[in-house]
Amino acid sequence: MVTVPPNIKKFRFVQVIGLLMQACGFFTSASTSAMPICEANQPRILAKSLYISNFLTEQFLLGNYIIQYRRSPMSRKKGQAIVEMALLFPFFLLIIVGGLIDFGFAFFNAITLQQIANDSAQYAAENRITSKEEIEAHIAKLKPGWWKNDIDFSGPEPLDLTSGGTVIRIPVSYESPAYTPFYQTMLSGIKGSPSIKLAALASYKIPQHVYTKLPGNKP
Protein backbone atom coordinates (compact mmCIF):
# COMPACT_ATOMS: atom_id res chain seq x y z
CA MET A 1 0.00 0.00 0.00
CA VAL A 2 1.47 3.34 -1.13
CA THR A 3 1.20 6.30 1.23
CA VAL A 4 0.56 9.59 -0.57
CA PRO A 5 2.46 12.55 0.95
CA PRO A 6 0.40 15.43 2.41
CA ASN A 7 1.47 17.89 -0.29
CA ILE A 8 0.28 15.49 -3.00
CA LYS A 9 -3.04 15.06 -1.19
CA LYS A 10 -3.43 18.84 -1.09
CA PHE A 11 -2.65 19.09 -4.78
CA ARG A 12 -5.25 16.45 -5.65
CA PHE A 13 -7.87 18.16 -3.47
CA VAL A 14 -7.34 21.54 -5.15
CA GLN A 15 -7.38 19.83 -8.51
CA VAL A 16 -10.74 18.16 -7.86
CA ILE A 17 -12.23 21.45 -6.60
CA GLY A 18 -11.09 23.22 -9.76
CA LEU A 19 -12.60 20.55 -11.96
CA LEU A 20 -15.93 20.77 -10.15
CA MET A 21 -15.95 24.56 -10.49
CA GLN A 22 -15.25 24.33 -14.22
CA ALA A 23 -17.97 21.73 -14.68
CA CYS A 24 -20.46 23.87 -12.76
CA GLY A 25 -19.53 26.91 -14.85
CA PHE A 26 -20.10 24.98 -18.06
CA PHE A 27 -23.52 23.75 -17.08
CA THR A 28 -24.47 27.20 -15.72
CA SER A 29 -23.54 28.86 -18.96
CA ALA A 30 -25.48 26.22 -20.85
CA SER A 31 -28.58 26.75 -18.74
CA THR A 32 -28.49 30.58 -18.87
CA SER A 33 -28.17 30.60 -22.60
CA ALA A 34 -31.46 28.69 -22.71
CA MET A 35 -30.14 26.87 -25.70
CA PRO A 36 -32.75 24.34 -26.80
CA ILE A 37 -31.53 20.84 -27.26
CA CYS A 38 -32.07 20.11 -30.88
CA GLU A 39 -30.19 18.60 -33.70
CA ALA A 40 -28.49 21.91 -34.52
CA ASN A 41 -27.08 22.33 -31.00
CA GLN A 42 -26.02 18.72 -30.47
CA PRO A 43 -22.53 19.15 -32.07
CA ARG A 44 -21.73 22.09 -29.78
CA ILE A 45 -22.81 20.18 -26.68
CA LEU A 46 -20.85 17.12 -27.80
CA ALA A 47 -17.74 19.24 -28.43
CA LYS A 48 -17.86 20.79 -24.97
CA SER A 49 -18.42 17.36 -23.40
CA LEU A 50 -15.38 16.00 -25.20
CA TYR A 51 -13.35 19.03 -24.09
CA ILE A 52 -14.25 18.43 -20.43
CA SER A 53 -13.57 14.70 -20.76
CA ASN A 54 -10.13 15.34 -22.25
CA PHE A 55 -9.37 17.97 -19.64
CA LEU A 56 -10.30 15.59 -16.81
CA THR A 57 -8.14 12.84 -18.31
CA GLU A 58 -5.14 15.17 -18.63
CA GLN A 59 -5.50 16.38 -15.06
CA PHE A 60 -5.76 12.82 -13.76
CA LEU A 61 -2.68 11.70 -15.67
CA LEU A 62 -0.78 14.79 -14.53
CA GLY A 63 -1.59 14.07 -10.88
CA ASN A 64 -0.48 10.45 -11.17
CA TYR A 65 2.74 11.52 -12.89
CA ILE A 66 3.56 13.97 -10.10
CA ILE A 67 2.94 11.29 -7.47
CA GLN A 68 5.13 8.77 -9.28
CA TYR A 69 7.84 11.36 -9.93
CA ARG A 70 8.03 12.38 -6.28
CA ARG A 71 7.81 8.83 -5.01
CA SER A 72 10.34 7.18 -7.32
CA PRO A 73 13.58 8.57 -5.77
CA MET A 74 12.67 7.23 -2.34
CA SER A 75 11.67 3.83 -3.69
CA ARG A 76 14.88 3.68 -5.72
CA LYS A 77 16.96 4.44 -2.63
CA LYS A 78 15.21 1.70 -0.67
CA GLY A 79 15.69 -0.78 -3.49
CA GLN A 80 19.35 0.17 -3.83
CA ALA A 81 19.94 -0.33 -0.10
CA ILE A 82 18.31 -3.77 -0.20
CA VAL A 83 20.44 -4.84 -3.17
CA GLU A 84 23.64 -3.59 -1.51
CA MET A 85 22.78 -5.42 1.71
CA ALA A 86 22.06 -8.62 -0.22
CA LEU A 87 25.45 -8.40 -1.93
CA LEU A 88 27.52 -7.54 1.16
CA PHE A 89 25.76 -9.69 3.78
CA PRO A 90 27.38 -13.02 2.71
CA PHE A 91 30.81 -11.38 2.88
CA PHE A 92 30.27 -10.07 6.42
CA LEU A 93 28.76 -13.41 7.44
CA LEU A 94 31.84 -15.22 6.12
CA ILE A 95 34.17 -12.95 8.10
CA ILE A 96 32.24 -13.24 11.37
CA VAL A 97 31.50 -16.97 11.29
CA GLY A 98 34.96 -17.83 9.94
CA GLY A 99 36.60 -15.72 12.64
CA LEU A 100 34.59 -17.45 15.36
CA ILE A 101 35.65 -20.87 14.07
CA ASP A 102 39.35 -20.25 13.37
CA PHE A 103 40.18 -17.96 16.28
CA GLY A 104 38.02 -20.01 18.63
CA PHE A 105 40.06 -23.13 17.83
CA ALA A 106 43.28 -21.10 18.08
CA PHE A 107 42.32 -19.85 21.56
CA PHE A 108 41.52 -23.39 22.70
CA ASN A 109 44.81 -24.67 21.27
CA ALA A 110 46.72 -21.89 23.04
CA ILE A 111 45.29 -22.96 26.41
CA THR A 112 46.12 -26.60 25.67
CA LEU A 113 49.67 -25.70 24.61
CA GLN A 114 50.25 -23.74 27.81
CA GLN A 115 49.10 -26.71 29.87
CA ILE A 116 51.50 -28.98 27.98
CA ALA A 117 54.37 -26.58 28.72
CA ASN A 118 53.46 -26.47 32.43
CA ASP A 119 53.28 -30.25 32.75
CA SER A 120 56.54 -30.74 30.84
CA ALA A 121 58.41 -28.20 32.98
CA GLN A 122 57.15 -29.81 36.17
CA TYR A 123 58.08 -33.27 34.88
CA ALA A 124 61.62 -32.16 33.95
CA ALA A 125 62.22 -30.30 37.22
CA GLU A 126 60.94 -32.98 39.57
CA ASN A 127 62.91 -35.70 37.80
CA ARG A 128 65.97 -33.48 37.21
CA ILE A 129 65.87 -34.12 33.47
CA THR A 130 67.85 -31.83 31.21
CA SER A 131 67.93 -34.03 28.11
CA LYS A 132 66.04 -32.63 25.14
CA GLU A 133 65.07 -36.06 23.83
CA GLU A 134 63.42 -37.18 27.08
CA ILE A 135 61.45 -33.96 27.49
CA GLU A 136 60.46 -34.00 23.82
CA ALA A 137 59.16 -37.56 24.17
CA HIS A 138 57.08 -36.48 27.17
CA ILE A 139 55.67 -33.54 25.18
CA ALA A 140 54.70 -35.91 22.34
CA LYS A 141 52.70 -38.00 24.83
CA LEU A 142 50.76 -34.94 25.98
CA LYS A 143 49.93 -33.72 22.47
CA PRO A 144 46.24 -34.18 21.55
CA GLY A 145 45.54 -36.78 18.90
CA TRP A 146 43.60 -34.41 16.65
CA TRP A 147 46.52 -31.99 16.32
CA LYS A 148 47.96 -32.38 12.82
CA ASN A 149 51.17 -30.39 13.25
CA ASP A 150 54.04 -31.20 15.60
CA ILE A 151 54.93 -29.20 18.68
CA ASP A 152 58.21 -27.34 18.24
CA PHE A 153 60.58 -27.65 21.19
CA SER A 154 64.03 -26.10 21.08
CA GLY A 155 65.25 -27.71 24.31
CA PRO A 156 65.26 -26.99 28.06
CA GLU A 157 66.80 -23.79 29.36
CA PRO A 158 68.27 -24.19 32.87
CA LEU A 159 68.72 -20.93 34.74
CA ASP A 160 70.52 -20.44 38.04
CA LEU A 161 68.76 -18.22 40.54
CA THR A 162 70.62 -15.63 42.59
CA SER A 163 68.73 -16.80 45.66
CA GLY A 164 69.86 -20.36 45.09
CA GLY A 165 68.48 -23.21 43.06
CA THR A 166 67.93 -23.85 39.38
CA VAL A 167 64.90 -23.20 37.17
CA ILE A 168 64.09 -25.17 34.03
CA ARG A 169 62.34 -23.25 31.27
CA ILE A 170 60.34 -25.11 28.60
CA PRO A 171 59.55 -23.03 25.47
CA VAL A 172 57.12 -24.67 23.01
CA SER A 173 55.26 -23.47 19.92
CA TYR A 174 52.55 -24.84 17.64
CA GLU A 175 51.05 -23.88 14.28
CA SER A 176 47.28 -23.85 14.74
CA PRO A 177 45.69 -24.41 11.30
CA ALA A 178 42.88 -22.29 9.88
CA TYR A 179 39.79 -24.18 8.73
CA THR A 180 37.79 -21.65 6.69
CA PRO A 181 38.86 -20.78 3.13
CA PHE A 182 38.74 -17.02 3.74
CA TYR A 183 41.24 -17.02 6.60
CA GLN A 184 43.36 -19.71 4.95
CA THR A 185 43.82 -17.44 1.94
CA MET A 186 44.40 -14.36 4.09
CA LEU A 187 46.99 -16.03 6.35
CA SER A 188 48.75 -17.60 3.37
CA GLY A 189 49.11 -14.18 1.77
CA ILE A 190 50.35 -12.54 4.99
CA LYS A 191 52.73 -15.11 6.50
CA GLY A 192 53.04 -17.78 3.82
CA SER A 193 51.15 -20.57 5.64
CA PRO A 194 47.45 -21.01 6.47
CA SER A 195 47.98 -21.25 10.22
CA ILE A 196 48.24 -19.19 13.39
CA LYS A 197 51.48 -19.55 15.35
CA LEU A 198 51.04 -20.13 19.09
CA ALA A 199 53.79 -19.99 21.71
CA ALA A 200 53.93 -20.93 25.38
CA LEU A 201 56.61 -20.82 28.06
CA ALA A 202 56.71 -22.48 31.47
CA SER A 203 59.33 -22.41 34.22
CA TYR A 204 59.66 -24.78 37.14
CA LYS A 205 62.20 -24.75 39.92
CA ILE A 206 64.12 -27.93 40.64
CA PRO A 207 63.15 -28.92 44.18
CA GLN A 208 65.96 -28.96 46.74
CA HIS A 209 65.86 -31.73 49.31
CA VAL A 210 67.28 -30.65 52.67
CA TYR A 211 68.38 -33.40 55.04
CA THR A 212 68.54 -32.55 58.74
CA LYS A 213 70.10 -34.48 61.59
CA LEU A 214 68.42 -34.52 64.95
CA PRO A 215 70.62 -34.35 68.05
CA GLY A 216 71.41 -37.74 69.58
CA ASN A 217 70.69 -39.73 66.43
CA LYS A 218 73.41 -41.86 64.98
CA PRO A 219 74.50 -41.02 61.45
The 10s digit of each residue's pLDDT in 203-215 is 888 887 655 555 6
Per DSSP, what are the bridge partners of residue 176?
Answer: 196
Segment 61-75 shows an average pLDDT of: 54
What 3-state DSSP class applies to 219? Answer: coil
Question: Whole-angstrom Cα distance, residue 195 to residue 184?
Answer: 7
- Reported as a single tens digit per residue, the pLDDT across 158-206 is 888 887 788 899 999 999 999 988 888 888 888 888 999 999 999 888 8
**Lowest mean pLDDT, pick from 51-60, 98-107, 128-137, 179-188:** 51-60
